[in-house]
Amino acid sequence: MVVVDNGSNADELDPLRVASSLALISLWWSASRTTLSSQLTALWSLSTLALAWFVALSKIERNDLIHLLQRHLLPLAIRG
């Protein structure tokens, strides 16, 4: 992966990259000939956005989120 520093803050999304990515989604989607139900499309979209958001977090924010989830969600999962 090549990272280009254009002098802006690394935590900010570059609008040009976001716009180009959104434009390419339509090409990828039509080329795959995939048909999904509206519920599955919404789930796919939300999970993709959540993953992109998680990756965009700084290391400290990511670690804080993981610790928060482990403290609150793990005990609920263990209780069943």
In a domain, 2, yes or no: no
For residue 61, give both structure tokens: 């924010």
Distance CA 35, CA 33 (A): 6
What residues make up the domain containing 33?
A: 15-79
Residue 38 and residue 46 in contact, taking contact as beta carbons nearer than 8 Å = no
In the predicted structure, residue 19 carries a pLDDT above the cut 80: no
In a domain, 56, yes or no: yes
Determine how many CB atoms are found less than 10 A away from the CB of residue 15. Answer: 8
Total domains, the chain: 1
In a domain, 1, yes or no: no
**Could you tell me the pLDDT band of residue 27, with boundaries at 50, 70 and 90?**
low
- Compare 8 and 58 and report the one with higher pLDDT: 58
pTM (2 d.p.): 0.47
In a domain, 41, yes or no: yes
